Each structure stands twice: as structure tokens, then as C-alpha cells.
Structure 1
């Protein structure tokens, strides 16, 4: 392509939509051609997100007003259960990256079980490629529809998939204890994410049935070639961005570290820390990097794997741009090598 790819962002008034705009603003291979929002149609992006006021952006409009004949790729940053119907009605040749949960689960029956309603576009599900870039890179490059992972899912999967595949941990003894920033809940007002409900506290949520658990079941079982069921407990952090997963496993810690270091040696966005070091969310904030550490447990034959990423970047919009780069034939790292923001 001898010009920047023309991009539409559907659902640009949410956090992931704003993060996509931030990333594409300095991306040499993409330009924002259309931005949509429902209730905010007709507004300038600067009114919705003042931190983007320096950018020359199209006005927000309704999806029905977008001329998709001039669009090379659409990011669908819409709420869960909305994307299926919207993507179903998009032009069949339009490359699409979906940031919702609507196409992540390969089996529509499993989707119905976890999301409480029948899949609304089952005919499209077989062509959707799971968007964990480091594991489905070749399929993503050939795909028309990519289903980005959940942010919690990405954190746990990146920390565990190599050791699950290598068989160096006990598959029946995996515990994922994860803490995530409030932006993962989206921008829509909710009582549980009010400042007074979240600040000065720390609590578990969706303890019995967090929907990202279905992605763990799907991907770990595929990697292992047998059913794998992990214990997963998410917690809400009183901070805007970032996820830290502490993963408890049974296995030799030095071997686990070696497997992870070798698996990710050539991955541009995955950093395996020296043995014995644990990562922090503050060191990946605003970036597309994931930091992974391995620390031995005081009990022999057990280890803790730590995985940290920014839920809005590597966990969502950055991952989406990484996948879009592949789909458009661009360098995978283009527009994504910015350093983390610290302090």
C-alpha cells in the first residue's frame, strides 16, 4: 500500500477507542478516516476526550453514516453483545479487528453458556482468529476478522502458555491471582467504579464466574492437548491502568524461567526479567510491552510467575494495532515501540 491505511474506529467514545486514536495519531502506516459513537454523534473528539484536542480528527458520527468503501480496516471498540450484529452488517471484504468478547470463543455454544444469550452472528465465528498475536501471528496476517483477547486473558495467557505447552508445570495445580485497573470496566458510569467505591480499597470481583475464564479454558486446553481448568480470581485495583497477575504453579522454577526466556527471546513486546525478579505495572504503563518474571517459592518444586501489562494498550488497543499491522502487511511493531510512561 503506497499510502497510509484508512481506518475507522467504531465506538470511539470509550477508553479503548481513545487509546486507538492515541496510537494511530503517530502511526506512519495508518490514518483515522472515520470515528463513530452513538449518543455522542455530531460531537468533536476534543469535546469527548480533551487530551486529543491537538489532533485533526473527523467528527464523531453514527455507523450508518460511514462510507466503508473508502475504509481499509475497521476497529470495533463497541460493548460486548453489540459487535456481533454490527460486524455482521459490515461489508464482507472489510478487514475488521474486534476488541469486544463477541468472537473470542470458538464454540458458539460455549459463548452462549458464558454470556447468557445465543451468538448473533454464528456464520462469522469460524473465520474469526483469536487475537493473541504472539501465538496466532500467521493466521492473523491472513485473516479478515480478528477477535482480540480479554485484557485479563492476555496477561495470564502470556505468562503461562509456553510452560503449559512444554509440560513443565502440573496442569491441575494452576492458580491465577490477578489485579486490574479500573479502566478495564469501561467508561460507562457504574456505581461499582465510582471513585469512592474503588479508592482506598482492594477487592475481588466476579469471583465465581468471570467471563475471561472461558478464554483460559479454551487456550490452555488447546495448548496442552487436554482439558485444563485453572483457578482464577480477579481483583480491582484503585488505579486507572495496569494488570498484574501472580500465577502459582507446581514445577521447577529455574526450568520454568528457561522455557519462558527461550519462548519469548525474539518477541519484541514480551520481556522476560532475570530469574528472581518480579515486574510492576508502573514499568509497562502506556506501552505495548508485557513484563514476565519467575520467582521460586519457599517450598521446593513450586514457583510464582508474574505477568504485567497495560490493560488499555497491550491488553486491548495496542494488541489491536499490532494485529492490524499484520493484517495490512505492515511491520508488526510499527507505531507501537513507544517507551512506557514513568513515573
Structure 2
């Protein structure tokens, strides 16, 4: 967070080093490469914001959607809900079950709103619904929004191509293909696809990442590589399947 008051509201504690907030770079690698190369302090995004922002920022920057219409429906494996001893994380509670959780008060929402508001130049409020999948790892996000009048499939595709043409870890899928968790498990990759449904005037973007890879430690290594001048993909091309 750039605002110590927002940190306090979200996490319930005072920020221990508010004087460093202006210096810290938000480590969404694909959108902050230049800043990351000069950074001394980086805050790597959470898994839910990564899956959502990779889908949304290209469209917002080209003004292709109505920002107030955004709805984020995201589903994560159990490792996305912290490694802590809790009843709701027990095998018997998660196995053969599927549920939404922390609707309306998830701590990653202000993080997403901060980045989207910065791209828009004004504040925005998002509707975000996280779900817990009965799997170990993986995060699939379905983001629904209303396109601006006149927005075409070519416009949407061009926005993603322009944003990710030089990105080693974002795969824009061909028409008719949809992201799957098994394709990104244990990797730092993101799969992305979109459908522009004219019947309902809705644009749907789907992303798939590994919440422990691109959604956590993989992206942290990607950021470190940029900071230190290494190959951006160093250490990230082999699968890391444990857990």
C-alpha cells in the first residue's frame, strides 16, 4: 500500500516503516519492469491481485471497458488461504467441498483497487468473490465487465498483445481455447483468454496461474531477477511441484 492508513485499515496494525511506502515498488512484473530495475524495495503482489490485474490493466489503460462494471470471481487452491492450523483448512472441511469465503472483506481487495485506481486516475470500488477449491494449488479467475460502446474483439486482443508481447510468462490463448490450472501448475506462467459476448454485452477474461508460482514465490524471483539485472526467467523455467 502507498497509504499507511489503508495498511492499518486492512491489516489491523500500524505500518512498521511508513517512511518507506513512497519508495516501495509494486512488484507486478509485467507492468512495472522499469521501476523494478531501479528498485531497492519491492512488494510482491498477492495471488488474487496478480490473476485479476493481468486481465484488467491492459483493458483499463486503453479505456476499453466500463470500470464500474467489473466483477471478479476467483477460485484458489487451499495453499492460497495461508499455511495455518485452522478448522476450515482441515481435509474433512475442504475435500469434496466448494465454498466462497471472505466476501466483501478480503484483504486483497484494497490492493487491487489501489492499482486499478492508479491506472484510471480516480478511485474505484470492486466486487470480488473468492472461492476455495479442494485442490492443493492453482488459481482460476473469471472477470466479468461491460465493454465500452464500439469495443471489438480486435481491440481487446490488441490490448493484451501490446501489454504482453515481451512477457515470457503470459500466454495469450487462441480463440476457442480456455485456461486450465493443470497447464500452469508448478510454474510461473499465466494463461489468459477472453470472450466478448455480444448477446449479453459482456466481456469475460479468464486467467489461470499457480498461486504459489506467479501468485507468490515465482513472481518474487522474477522481480529479483529484474532488480539485479539477471535474465528475467532465471530459475523459473523448471517445474516446482512441491507442495
Shift of 1:262: 2.7
1:113 aligns to 2:9 (yes or no): yes
Pick from 86, 93, 113: which aligns with 1:190? 86
Shift of 1:298: 5.6
Counterpart Cα distance in 1 of 2:178 and 2:203 = 12
4+ residue runs of structure 1 moved beyond 6 angstroms? none
Pick from 233, 238, 241: which aligns with 1:333? 233
**For the aligned residues, what is the CA RMSD?**
1.5
Shift of 1:139: 1.2
1:233 aligns to 2:129 (yes or no): yes
1:262 aligns to 2:144 (yes or no): no
Counterparts in 2 of 1:188 and 1:340: CA distance versus 1, 3 Å? closer
Counterpart Cα distance in 2 of 1:257 and 1:244 = 20
Would you say how many aligned residue pairs link Structure 1 and Structure 2? 237
Q: 1:161 aligns to what SS in structure 2?
A: helix
Pick from 273, 279, 288: which aligns with 2:179? 279
**Normalising by the residue count of structure 1, what TM-score does the alignment of the two structures yield?**
0.66
Q: 1:187 aligns to what SS in structure 2?
A: coil
Counterpart Cα distance in 2 of 1:135 and 1:296 = 24
2:72 maps to which residue?
Answer: 176
CA contact (8 A) 1:248 1:303 kept: yes
Q: Give the gaps of 5 or more residues in structure 1.
A: 1-104
Between the two structures, name the one with larger relative contact order (CA 8 Å, sep ≥ 6).
2
1:51 maps to which residue?
Answer: none
Counterpart Cα distance in 2 of 1:153 and 1:289 = 15
**Normalising by the residue count of structure 2, what TM-score does the alignment of the two structures yield?**
0.93
Counterpart Cα distance in 2 of 1:129 and 1:225 = 18
Counterpart Cα distance in 2 of 1:257 and 1:300 = 19
Counterparts in 2 of 1:276 and 1:340: CA distance versus 1, 3 Å? farther
Aligned ranges for residues 12-51 of structure 1 at < 5 Å? none
Counterpart Cα distance in 2 of 1:277 and 1:305 = 12
Shift of 1:205: 0.5
Pick the structure with greater CA Rg.
1
